[in-house]
A and B are shown apart, each in its own frame.
Chain A
């Protein structure tokens, strides 16, 4: 009996000790870095969860964690980041319905922001955060994060999506000057083809790269007002301007101009298209996507941005003025907490932006950011173009539209443009787009 009783005590003690060890391990460890300045607000003991699309593979996950760590050091709060992958609506939707959203989320589409606001899933920002935002950002950014006049978020990370990247060595050897107009682009592609390098690489597997191509072409073909009209489905997708834009796209999406041909392009994901363009020897001369390509080049290839890799503004079409398509991630508040509001306020300051900006692959529209923190001229040029465009920058169309049309794999604009690359059928694609848009917009 005594042995049994002793054994029971020993077992109980072991269990308690194990639980205590586990609790200690899971607890917030203070690594003792000194705080840069006196914290604005003391949030010691509070912990918040932040969700966003950034995941392993492009370095972005590490960088957002750096920003959140800076906030944690300043205020003493503990912050954890949850990666949701590209399909953030699929992850946050059920959590909102279940009543367990994260404290703060980075939403990549204004449409999603509006959807969540309509479901009462967002908390309006407090006065401190609102004042910081209005002081540091052009009004277009407040408008894009507001619904019916209430401000819900801050556009923290932005991308200039009108940067056309090229391999300087390949273009130099081929004798092609970086194209500034569409005609130069087409001629340059023909020359690159003669040189023996596939003119450009496109990610055809996911679909969002193709929609970005279309938006840049359409903005230059039709202008900003019609861009807005098409975004809101006030004009049909069978409009002559859409047909013209698709015809232009078809000029450069021919199989013999694409790295890997049509089939290879439709199987190729985004990081792969960048790797192809900046491999040694290059498998493609150019690749179009946003300024975050610079970050991918740095992480995935041996090319050096500024020496082997550079960008020009997306070529103008028929003399179109400088236009910039933009995308970004807005930090919104999904749970009413003091720490959450403080984090949003912090994200609206220049310091927060500079933590990521100094590492590259990031642009901020915050007018308070000192552009000398950007690591190279390339990123600086892209950021200055974006900030300089002010209210003339147009947000990525597919992010402004209902998700089932604008940002779902295999259907809507993504899926139909993939079909377009495969078939080249301009009229058929326009009609299918109009069908899909009618169904989505209701």
Chain B
């Protein structure tokens, strides 16, 4: 019976099988056709925009600057011989070694610390925000932050404010004696007469390099003949510069004014400070309590001349590369933090609890349990950052001023400079591009392998 049924179904099957077989074949063919229709445009674009340029660059790198003579690997050896390119290479190595690890570490710390805090979302949003702006904008922002002038640069303004709180600037920062003979600078920053004076003498000291707006309102025309008692040294401290010109150096001219607030000291022969005084409105000072037989040197103390903090040069050797790295880390820490936080959320809590129950401290839990469990995520973040850091270009171009560009150079920037920066050396530029490509390849393969083995 079954054979009859099967024979019947066998007879029936050819009737249905015949039309089925071609449609199954054309079904498969149709699926392939549809797949191709979707893939071919993308493949064409990839071929034209990615594959062809790669081959062309490799070929172009084997030719010299104008492009007609075959030079083989000469452009590649030039990468190591040309000083500028070598500096770019060295800097890129520094970037790759320092930055991805730092960004990942900071992201990890942020992710772990804010994991169970209530305001974690707000914190993560704020830290992630720099990712929303372009590298160009970030470069402009940080250029202003690092500005050397404390009046405009954020960091130097803060440092100046802090420094002024601790010890403010003197009354006449940057001033100096008007005559060089007879007076010399002290190591601390003041000025001391080279000769000694006996009490009863008048010692006038003129200063210059004081802009008009720094002279106090209360300043009066400088005193011309100050008398000193038998145990006193006295004189006038005045601005030895006639506005409009015409004054005589070392002489109190009619329009010249005293400098109230300037501090003076009498220095005994053994170097100790015996008396101190402050100049009055007309510049008069009196140093009392001196021994009539001894000769004292008169010193303009350093408090008068102390300058406000002038600002560090953040964007010049040697700080320019770390400064640029900080800007980069500021942008990408948010990315690392967000990715690691999502990895952290996927860790089973029981393992951490079990570790804590077993008596592990938080640090041990972190180091022995959390980090190993997070290691796939950490590796992905690290490798992505390595690929990104190898390509850093616009941040260095915009952030670093022209005078420090040679020191802060990186490979991608040098490739652009060699090709388009006036030299038009497309051979060297192509060689640098291929070199960069080769550097990135291991990281790319590593990432691809991880995706394949299923992360």
Contacts and interface: CB of A to CB of B under 8 A. Distances in A.
Interface of A: 87, 89-90, 93-94, 172-176, 191, 193-197, 204-207, 260-261, 263-264, 266-267, 269, 281, 402-404, 407-412, 414-415, 418, 422
The 5 residue pairs across chains A and B that have the minimum distance between CB atoms: A175-B245, A403-B422, A196-B211, A410-B405, A404-B423
B246 to A, nearest CB: 6
Contacts of A409: 402, 405, 421
A204 B402 CA distance: 8
Interface stretch (B53-61, B236-244, B267-275, B277-285): B236-244
Contact of B403 (A173, A204, A402, A408): A204
A412 B178 CA distance: 41
B411 to A, nearest CB: 15
A176 B420 CA distance: 46
Interface string B195-228: 0000000000000111111100000000000000
Contacts of A404: 421-424
Question: Which of B208, B212, B213, B422 is packed against the most chain A CB atoms within 10 Å?
Answer: B422
B402 A173 contact: no
B212 A408 contact: no
A261 B245 CA distance: 25
A414 B178 contact: no
Contacts of B401: 205, 266-267, 269
A173 B244 contact: yes
Contact of A90 (B209, B311, B406, B420): B420
B148 interface: yes
B149 interface: yes
Given A195-B209, A409-B405, 6 more contacts: A90-B421, A93-B424, A174-B243, A175-B245, A408-B421, A410-B403
Contacts, number: 105
B245 A407 contact: no
B422 A408 contact: yes
A196 to B, nearest CB: 4
Given A87-B421, A93-B424, A263-B316, A193 B209 contact: yes
B148 A194 contact: no
B209 A196 contact: yes
Nearest to B153: A267
A172 B244 contact: yes
Nearest to B210: A196
B273 to A, nearest CB: 28
B315 interface: yes
A408 B149 CA distance: 26
A89 B313 CA distance: 31
B402 A206 contact: yes
Interface in B93-141: none
B403 A267 contact: yes
B84 interface: yes
Given A205-B401, A205-B403, A175 B421 contact: no
A278 B403 CA distance: 24
Contacts of A266: 313, 316, 401, 403-404
18 contacts: A87-B422, A89-B420, A90-B422, A94-B420, A174-B243, A175-B246, A193-B209, A263-B316, A266-B403, A267-B315, A267-B401, A403-B422, A404-B422, A410-B417, A411-B84, A415-B406, A418-B402, A418-B403
Contacts of B310: 261
A281 B241 CA distance: 18
B345 to A, nearest CB: 43
Nearest to B400: A410
A410 B406 contact: yes
Main SS at interface, chain A: helix
Contacts of A267: 147-148, 313, 315-316, 401, 403
Contacts of B424: 89, 93, 404
Question: Which of B210, B241, B244, B403 is packed against the most chain A CB atoms within 10 Å?
Answer: B403
B148 A260 contact: yes
A408 B406 contact: no
B245 A191 contact: yes
Contacts of B210: 196
Interface string B391-413: 00000000001111110000000
A408 B421 CA distance: 6
A412 B421 CA distance: 12
A174 B245 CA distance: 6
Contacts of B243: 173-175
Contacts of B245: 174-176, 191
Contacts of B405: 409-410
Question: Which of A260, A263, A281 is packed against the most chain B CB atoms within 10 Å?
Answer: A263
B418 to A, nearest CB: 9
A402 B421 CA distance: 11
Contact of A194 (B178, B420, B421): B178
B406 A263 contact: no
Contacts of A414: 402
B209 A281 contact: no
A260 B149 contact: yes
A403 B243 CA distance: 47
A263 B148 contact: yes
A112 to B, nearest CB: 9
Nearest to B176: A194
B219 to A, nearest CB: 14
A205 B406 CA distance: 12
A172 B212 CA distance: 13
Contacts of B147: 267
A274 B402 CA distance: 18
Contacts of A415: 406
Given A90-B420, A191-B245, A410-B402, A173 B149 contact: no
A175 to B, nearest CB: 2
A415 B421 CA distance: 13
A403 B241 CA distance: 48
B242 A175 contact: yes
Interface in B20-48: none
B402 A93 contact: no
B423 A408 contact: yes
Nearest to A421: B403
Contacts of B406: 410-411, 415
B403 to A, nearest CB: 4
A191 B417 CA distance: 43
A175 B253 CA distance: 14
A282 to B, nearest CB: 9
Contacts of A93: 420, 424
B214 A196 contact: yes
Nearest to A276: B149
Nearest to A170: B211
A194 B241 contact: yes
Contacts of B241: 194-196
Question: Which of B211, B213, B315, B405 is packed against the most chain A CB atoms within 10 Å?
Answer: B211
A129 B208 CA distance: 60
A334 B210 CA distance: 57
Contacts of A403: 422-423
A414 B405 CA distance: 12
A111 to B, nearest CB: 10
Contacts of A261: 310
Contacts of A260: 148-149
Nearest to B209: A196
A204 B212 CA distance: 28
A264 B403 CA distance: 11
B139 to A, nearest CB: 14
Question: Which of A89, A173, A194, A412 is packed against the most chain B CB atoms within 10 Å?
Answer: A194
Contacts of A194: 178, 208-209, 241
